[in-house]
Amino acid sequence: MIDFIKYKGVVWKIPLASALSWELAEWAGSKHPYLAPLTVILTIQLTVDKSIQFAWQRIWGPLPAFFSLYS
* Residue 41 pLDDT: 81
* Residue 39 pLDDT: 83
For the chain, the 3-state helix, strand and coil shares in percent, each to the nearest 5, are 75, 0, 25
* Residue 23 pLDDT: 95
What is the residue-level pLDDT of the chain in tens, covering all 71 positions?
667 666 777 678 888 888 999 999 999 998 889 888 888 887 776 677 777 787 788 778 888 887 888 76
Q: What is the pTM of this model?
A: 0.55
